[in-house]
Amino acid sequence: MSEGHSTYTPKTGIGRWFDARMPLPRLVYDSFVAYPVPRNLNYAWTFGGILSIMLAAQILTGIVLAMHYAADSTLAFDSVEKIMRDVNSGWLLRYLHSNGASFFFVAVYIHIFRGLYYGSYKAPRELLWILGCIIYLLMMATGFMGYVLPWGQMSFWGATVITGFFSAIPLVGDWIQQLLLGGFAVDTPTLNRFFSLHYLLPFMIAGVVVLHIWALHVVGQSNPTGIEVKSKTDIVAFTPYATIKDAFGMIVFLFVFAYFVFYLPNFLGHPDNYTVADPLKTPAHIVPEWYFLPFYAILRAITFNIGPINSKLGGVLAMFGSIAMLFLVPWLDTSKVRSAVYRPWYKLFFWLFVIDAVLLGWLGSQPAEGSYVFMAQMATLFYFAFFLVALPVLGLIETPRRLPNSITEAVLEKNKGGGGGHPASATAAPETKG
């Protein structure tokens, strides 16, 4: 939807002066005011904006926390406690930052599942989707390294287990592990480099977000019908329609976020992380942050050797493979129809996949013993089957429901079904609203 001329006309002398020299106001106007969006976007589409505000909030709170933090194994734990007790408003900033990470992941998971449900990854949006996957990977690295910084027991042992993955690589594994740790075990050199990278990566995320939005503004937003925009009646201006809807979504989201920050600040954390790291004592039960639990369950599900691959390397490959699946989705899905709304079988499998992901998360939090291991193996099997079997096969054998001819037709049909006296939503009937 990049076609069409810019409609920006500077109204003041200063505006014209800028526009002739560096048209930044024009870029902002074209991208966030006049930018056309499909008229039928629902609240699932507000999470891009929510993610932007969470990234900005994390960078802001992170920068001020770094002013009080000491990245040294003898000082780190105490400096975090000092932030909690002595630094003015330190408790609030730290709780905003630690819960902010969790809510950042809540938002990104909704954003990813929305993309999967509505087929937002399909041509011409493959690159847009892959840039999103890269952002997600960077988020995971950032979240992991940030969790190490408070230097509690879970910080230390989480770092030990996760850097231990690399020792599974044949031949060069130990060398790579020492390169990551800067020693033979997690210690001050590890903490220092993790702090440095934890500060750097959010800015790299911001950079990829710019590319993500750029790619989005070239191909335009998808929408719940998955039908491309065909005429002017299919679209509304970003401002005020999407702006207001995004703002309302943000407020609701931040309301829930604030509830956790003020009333349940440690609900998503682990009590063991309030014990200082002890390299000689492992906690009874190591678990990562909740947002990594499904992948942790997949890692632990591989308890058997597969040919020359031992169980340890197999687990690591399965875990990285489970993320790699996301990158391949645009080519694994063979269906011509984007949206699950018109794909009855895909819709079923999508919801089974959501249940499976939640189940894997729960299994990741349980000890790896008894029936949990078998359940994790079955759930892992379904996880991979969804991508490698369901996505390609369903596209070939499924009969999709009849697609409307246009977004406008879909919207009008839906409103007719909703009853005559029911007021149409603002975005659904823009031409009557001013």
Partner 1 sequence: MSATDIQDPNRRDFLYVATGMAAVVGAGAVAWPFIDQMRPDASTLALASVEVDVSSLEPGMSLVVKWRGKPVVVRNRTEKEMKDGEAVNLAQLKDPLARNANLPADAPATDANRTTPGKEAWMVMVQVCTHLGCIPLGQEGEFGGWFCPCHGSVYDTAGRVRAGPAPENMSVPVFQFISDTKIRIG
User: What's the closest the beta carbon of residue 247 comes to partner 1, in angstroms?
Assistant: 43
User: What's the closest the beta carbon of residue 381 comes to partner 1, in angstroms?
Assistant: 18
Contact status, residue 209 vs residue 49, Cβ threshold 8 Å: no
Interaction between residue 312 and partner 1 (CB under 8 A): yes
User: What's the closest the beta carbon of residue 316 comes to partner 1, in angstroms?
Assistant: 10
Contact status, residue 145 vs residue 190, Cβ threshold 8 Å: no
User: What's the closest the beta carbon of residue 163 comes to partner 1, in angstroms?
Assistant: 8
E runs forming strands in 15-104:
36-38
Q: Which is nearer to partner 1, 55 or 180 (CB)?
A: 180
Q: Which is nearer to partner 1, 185 or 355 (CB)?
A: 185
* Helix, strand or coil, per DSSP, at residue 309: strand
Q: Which is nearer to partner 1, 110 or 373 (CB)?
A: 373
Interaction between residue 178 and partner 1 (CB under 8 A): yes
User: What's the closest the beta carbon of residue 183 comes to partner 1, in angstroms?
Assistant: 4
User: What's the closest the beta carbon of residue 153 comes to partner 1, in angstroms?
Assistant: 12
Among 185, 200, 244, 352, which residue sits at the site for partner 1 (rule: CB under 8 A)? 185
* Helix, strand or coil, per DSSP, at residue 214: helix
> How many residues are there in the chain?
434
* Helix, strand or coil, per DSSP, at residue 306: strand
305 φ, ψ (degrees, to nearest 5)? -80, 140
98 φ, ψ (degrees, to nearest 5)? -70, -40
Region of 48-56, 113-121, 186-194, 207-215 interacting with partner 1 (CB under 8 A): 186-194
User: Of 369-388, which residues contact partner 1 (CB under 8 A)?
Assistant: 369
Under rule CB under 8 A, how many of the chain's residues touch partner 1? 32
What is the DSSP track for 115-166?
HHHTTTTSTT-HHHHHHHHHHHHHHHHHHHHHHHTT-BHHHHHHHHHHHHGG
Q: Per-residue string for binding with partner 1, 158-177, x by CB under 8 A?
A: --xx--xx------------
Contact status, residue 31 vs residue 217, Cβ threshold 8 Å: yes
Interaction between residue 233 and partner 1 (CB under 8 A): no
User: What's the closest the beta carbon of residue 145 comes to partner 1, in angstroms?
Assistant: 14
User: What's the closest the beta carbon of residue 85 comes to partner 1, in angstroms?
Assistant: 29
* Exposed/middle/buried for residue 379 (C-beta within 10 Å: 0-12, 13-18, 19+): buried
User: What's the closest the beta carbon of residue 325 comes to partner 1, in angstroms?
Assistant: 23
Interaction between residue 180 and partner 1 (CB under 8 A): yes
Burial of 181-207, coded b for 16+ CB within 10 Å and e otherwise, reads: beeeebbbebbebbbeebbebbeebee
Q: Which is nearer to partner 1, 14 or 185 (CB)?
A: 185
Burial of 294-304, coded b for 16+ CB within 10 Å and e otherwise, reads: bbbbbbbbbee
Interaction between residue 197 and partner 1 (CB under 8 A): no
**How crowded is residue 389: how many other Cβ atoms within 10 Å of its Cβ?**
13
Interaction between residue 311 and partner 1 (CB under 8 A): yes
| Distance from C-alpha of 288 to C-alpha of 297, rounded to nearest angstrom | 10
Among 13, 20, 85, 184, which residue sits at the site for partner 1 (rule: CB under 8 A)? 184
Among 97, 114, 125, 300, which residue sits at the site for partner 1 (rule: CB under 8 A)? 300
Region of 133-141, 182-190, 218-226, 246-254 interacting with partner 1 (CB under 8 A): 182-190
Residue type, 261: V
Q: Which is nearer to partner 1, 279 or 344 (CB)?
A: 279
Footprint of partner 1 on this chain (CB under 8 A)? 157, 160-161, 164-165, 178-187, 189, 193, 279-282, 284-286, 300, 303, 310-312, 315, 368-369
